[in-house]
Amino acid sequence: MTMTMNKQIHLVSRPTGEAVAENFKLVEAVVPELQDGQVLVRVHYLSLDPYMRGRMNDAKSYAAPQPLNAVMQGGTVGEVVASKNAAYAVGDKVVGFGGWQQYSVVDAATPGMLRKVDTTHIPLSAYLGAVGMPGVTAWYGLTQICKPKAGQTVVVSAASGAVGSAVGQLAKARGCRAVGIAGGADKCRYVVDELGFDACVDYKAHPDPKSLYEALKAATPDGVDGAFENVGGPVFDATLARMNAFGRIALCGMISGYDGEPIPLRQPQLILTNRLTIEGFIVSEHMELWPQALQELGTMVATGKLKYRESVAQGIEAAPQAFLGLLKGKNFGKQVVKLV
């Protein structure tokens, strides 16, 4: 048989502070022969997600660290190109956790490793975003933690991103006022004009906390009932200061602190005076709700009611720079890498 070469991106060192290109290395390997039960997937898209930054550290966290000198782990979509598993046929479109490489060998019998998807009405790459982990993250935090009622106000940070854009549109679908926080006028325009949020605050236009607070106050005249926090730091401080009594905060990410800089919460006493609930969550720990979430998300995408944007990097070699850009907010919408 012919050997299939497989370009991979490995993590070869851990960041000290900011992550840099030198933490990654392009490696070429040979695709091993399939064993019984296995499936060979040609990866079409890699998913790049902020949580990966946390896993680059060798720190106690909810997930084991990304191993050194191994393929960067991550979600992928692709096509089955060889199969020794009766449940999968060549040509099947699949979503899985193939990592940053062109081909992945999957023990397809292990539950949760691979899932066939229908691309009739939903683009394949959407299974990494609006109809994938980010979409379910948005759905879970909004419906299970924020639990907003019609007429209430929901604020979400990183509002133009894969998670944030879904949070606001799901909130709008529930009759809420949706207010985004995003970095830059372009992103804010997109959030309001394309995604249909009621307002969006450009945090880059408000570098001091007082100004940011005033801008968010103007955008949330009735206060905030549900908050979905992806950023942390001053953005979280401003949101906390706008919470109404009995408000609920889903804490999903704190990307502003991923390089290790301090991101204190300045006024935790507001949690008490306003009787708030704050809950941190990891969507992969709530798999029992994924089918319900994916059904709503898939229907909304297929019917055009859940819009999203992608930043598409081209080729496996582009993955590290695209990822570093994501950490700085250079992406616009869901960041993927297109390999095919």
* Closer Cβ to a second copy, 189 or 266, answer by number: 266
- Quote the least distance from Cβ 137 to a second copy, whole Å: 12
* Closer Cβ to a second copy, 151 or 268, answer by number: 268
* Closer Cβ to a second copy, 175 or 268, answer by number: 268
Residue 300 to residues 3, 121, 183, 242: CA-CA distances in angstroms? 42, 11, 26, 30
Backbone dihedral angles phi then psi of residue 30, each to the nearest 5 degrees: -95, 135
Backbone dihedral angles phi then psi of residue 153, each to the nearest 5 degrees: -105, 130
- Quote the least distance from Cβ 278 to a second copy, whole Å: 5
The one-letter code for the residue type at 288 is E
- Quote the least distance from Cβ 325 to a second copy, whole Å: 22
DSSP code of residue 132: S
Secondary structure in 3-state letters for 59-83: CCCCCCCCCCCEECCCCEEEEEEEE
- Quote the least distance from Cβ 283 to a second copy, whole Å: 11
- Quote the least distance from Cβ 229 to a second copy, whole Å: 9
Pairwise CA distance, residues 286 & 97, whole Å: 17
* Closer Cβ to a second copy, 35 or 267, answer by number: 267
DSSP code of residue 260: S
Backbone dihedral angles phi then psi of residue 200, each to the nearest 5 degrees: -150, 135
- Quote the least distance from Cβ 262 to a second copy, whole Å: 7
Whether residue 158 contacts residue 330, with contact meaning beta carbons closer than 8 Å, is answered with no
Backbone dihedral angles phi then psi of residue 211, each to the nearest 5 degrees: -65, -40
Contacts with a second copy by CB under 8 A lie at 54, 60-62, 232, 236, 245, 251-254, 257, 262-269, 271-282, 285
The CA R_g of the chain, rounded to the nearest whole Å, is 20
